[in-house]
Amino acid sequence: MNARPVTLLIAAMGGEGGGVLTDWIVGAAQRADLPVQGTSIPGVAQRTGATTYYVELWPETHAALGGRHPVFGLGPSPGDVDVVVSTELVEAGRCCERGFVSPDRTTLIAAARRVFATSEKAAMGDGRFDAERVMRALRELPRQALLFDPDRLPDAARGVSLNALMLGMVAGSGRLPIPLDCYRDAIRAGVAAEANLRGFEAGLALAAAPPSPAAETTRARPGLAGLLDQAASDLPPEVLAVVDIALPRLTEYQSEPYARLYMERLRRILAVDPAPGGLHRLSAEVARHLALWMAYEDVIRVAQLKSSSTRFAEVRAEVRAKPHEPVQVTEFLKPGVEELASLLPPALGRRVVAWAERTGRTERVHVAMRVRSDTVLGFLRLFLLARLRRWRPRSLRFAEEQAAIEAWLARIAAAAQRGEHALALEITACARLLKGYGETHRRGRSAFALVMAQAVDSARPGDPAAAGRVARAREAALADPEHRTLAATLAAIAAEAAPAPLARAAE
C-alpha cells in the first residue's frame, strides 16, 4: 500500500500565469499517458491575491494500469508534497508555514524576489517584511531548494516569461516522471510557443546549475571632490563613508561653501560624540540626516534633478524604451502657494504664507504645470527653475531650514554633552520625519515639531527614559497620516513624565 501519486503545488499571485503553468504540466503528463489531475481556486482570488494550483499524477501509465483509476486529492496535504513552485518569496514562506515543504520530500523551486503586499507598500516609512526570516525557512526546510532571482538571470533566460522558466525548472528537477519532450509538446500546443520553449530550455539549464541567491549589490560611490579631500581625511571611516556622498551632493545642490558649512556643523557633533566602543555611530547618523536635510527638496531642487544629464537615460531604462524609440516625457509639477512663497525673501514670503493661511488658501492655491521635459521649451522651464539655485540662500525656506537645523543640532549636542548618547541618537533619527512635498511635508514638519517640543524639550535632563519616549513618539508619527497615534502617544508621554499629583500623594 505504499504507491502514491506524485504531488506538485504552485503558489502564485493572480494574473501571473500559474493557470497556464498548471495546464502545461497536466498536458505534459497526459502526453506521457500518465493519469493526472490538476485543480485551482480561481474566481475572485485571481484578482492579484495569493492563490494556489495543485497537481497530482500517477507514476505509471494508463496502459500499465490496465483500467485501474488512481484516487487523486484536490488539495495539498502537509508533509505530502513532492514539488513546491513559488513565484515569490513570501508566498514560498506561506507554503512552508502551511507545512507543504518537508525535509524528507519536497523540492522547492522559488523565485527569490519580493512582490510587496499592499500593507507593506502603504506604510509611511519602511513596512517591508524582513525577507531574511523567510530565507531561514527556505534554507532549512526543503529536501532540495532551487532558488533564483528573476532580476539576475543568465543571458539566455532574460526576457522569458516566468512560468515557462519555472516549467523548465520543474522538468529539470527530475521529480516528475514526465519525459522532457512531453513538456515541449505541451508548450507547442499553446500560444507564444516559440518564446515559451526558449523559457523552458532556460529553466532546464537553471535547474542544472542553480545560481547562488542574490548577493547584496555594492553601490557605486562617487569619489571625493578633490578640494575637500583634506578636510575629510581625518574622519572616522563610518563617518567618512557618508561624507563621501554628502559633500559632492551639497556642492551640486548649492555651492562649495555650503558643503563647508556641512563639514563645520558635523565637526561640532564629532567633538562631543562619546563614540562608545570607538564607533562614531552618532556622528555617522548625524552626517546622513544632516546631508539629507541640508539638501531639502524644493522646486529648484526638483527642477535640477529632473533636468540633469543622466536623467533621460534613467527614464528610458525605466520604461524599457528600445534604443531607436523616441520617448516623450511629461512632468506633473504642482507647487502650492506655500512652496512658491518659500522662495521669496523672508519678510515678503512670511506675509504671503500668513495671507494664504488666513484666507484658507494654503491647500487650495497651486500652480499646476505639465511640462514636456523632452521638448526644448519644456526643458528650458526646468533649466531656468534650476538656475534659481543662486537665489536660494536669500529665500524664506532657506532661512527657516537653517534655523531648524541649528536647533536640532543644538539638541543633539546638548544631549551628547550630558552623556545621554541614546537620547542624542533618537533626536538625530527624528529628522526622518521630514520628507516629501506640499501636504506630506507640512505633516512631517508638524510631527517633527510636536516630537521635539513634547518628547525632547519637555524631558528632565538625565531622565534615562527620555530616549525611549522619543523613539516611541517617532514611530507613532509614522503609524498613520492623520497623526491619531502620535497624539495618543504624546498624551501618554506627558502623563508619564509628570505623574498625577494624586498618585504622588498616595506614595
Which of the ranges 270-278, 373-381, 406-414, 499-507 carries the binding residues for other proteins, by CB under 8 A? 373-381
Q: Is 386 in the site for other proteins (CB under 8 A)?
A: yes
**β-pair partners for 50:** 13
Are 54 and 76 contacting, i.e. CB atoms less than 8 angstroms apart?
Answer: yes
Distance CA 376, CA 60 (A): 70
For other proteins, which is the closer residue by CB, 134 or 459? 134
Q: Is 418 in the site for other proteins (CB under 8 A)?
A: no
Q: Is 324 in the site for other proteins (CB under 8 A)?
A: yes
Judged by CB under 8 A, the residue of 321, 410, 491, 495 near other proteins is 321
Distance CA 499, CA 273 (A): 33
Triad 82, 85, 89: Cα angle to 5°: 125
Report which DSSP code applies to 336: B
- List all residues 6 or more positions away from 277 whose beta carbon is below 8 Å from its beta carbon: none
Q: What is the CA radius of gyration of the chain?
A: 30
Judged by CB under 8 A, the residue of 63, 66, 104, 234 near other proteins is 104
Which of the ranges 224-232, 412-420, 456-464, 493-501 carries the binding residues for other proteins, by CB under 8 A? 224-232
Binding residue count for other proteins, defined by CB under 8 A: 142
Which of the ranges 262-270, 321-329, 351-359, 447-455 carries the binding residues for other proteins, by CB under 8 A? 321-329
Q: Is 143 in the site for other proteins (CB under 8 A)?
A: no
The CB density around residue 420, as the number of other CB atoms within 10 Å, is 21
The CB density around residue 498, as the number of other CB atoms within 10 Å, is 11
Q: Is 307 in the site for other proteins (CB under 8 A)?
A: yes
Judged by CB under 8 A, the residue of 61, 64, 136, 498 near other proteins is 136
Q: Is 117 in the site for other proteins (CB under 8 A)?
A: yes
For 166-199, give one letter per residue: b (16+ CB within 10 A) or e. bbbbbbbbebbebeeebbbbbbeeeeebeebbbb
Residues 55-74 binding other proteins (CB under 8 A) are 58, 68-74
Residue-wise DSSP of 40-104: E--GGGGTTSEEEEEEEE-SS-HHHHTT------SS--TT--SEEEESSHHHHHHHHHTT---TT
Query: Exposure of 78 by Cβ count < 10 A (0-12 exposed, 13-18 middle, 19+ buried)?
Result: exposed
- Residue 211 has φ and ψ, to the nearest 5°, of -75, 155
Judged by CB under 8 A, the residue of 64, 78, 391, 465 near other proteins is 78
Which of the ranges 128-136, 164-172, 194-202, 459-467 carries the binding residues for other proteins, by CB under 8 A? 128-136
423-462 mask for other proteins (x: CB under 8 A)? ---------x--xxxxxx---x------------------
3-42 mask for other proteins (x: CB under 8 A)? xxx-------xxx------xx--x---x-----xxxxxxx
Residues 229-248 binding other proteins (CB under 8 A) are 242, 245-246
Distance CA 359, CA 197 (A): 66
Q: Is 158 in the site for other proteins (CB under 8 A)?
A: no
Report which DSSP code applies to 342: T
For other proteins, which is the closer residue by CB, 77 or 417? 77
Minimal distance, residue 408 CB to other proteins, in Å? 16
267-296 mask for other proteins (x: CB under 8 A)? ---------------------x--xx----
Which of the ranges 123-131, 195-203, 394-402, 405-413 carries the binding residues for other proteins, by CB under 8 A? 123-131
Judged by CB under 8 A, the residue of 214, 354, 380, 488 near other proteins is 380
Residue type, 125: G
Q: Is 323 in the site for other proteins (CB under 8 A)?
A: no
Judged by CB under 8 A, the residue of 208, 319, 410, 487 near other proteins is 319
Are 250 and 295 contacting, i.e. CB atoms less than 8 angstroms apart?
Answer: yes
For other proteins, which is the closer residue by CB, 375 or 417? 375
Judged by CB under 8 A, the residue of 64, 122, 453, 491 near other proteins is 122
Distances (CA, A) of 210 to 146, 159, 163, 189, 217: 6, 18, 17, 28, 19
Minimal distance, residue 417 CB to other proteins, in Å? 26
Which of the ranges 88-96, 273-281, 447-455, 462-470 carries the binding residues for other proteins, by CB under 8 A? 88-96
Distance CA 64, CA 82 (A): 23
Q: Is 357 in the site for other proteins (CB under 8 A)?
A: no
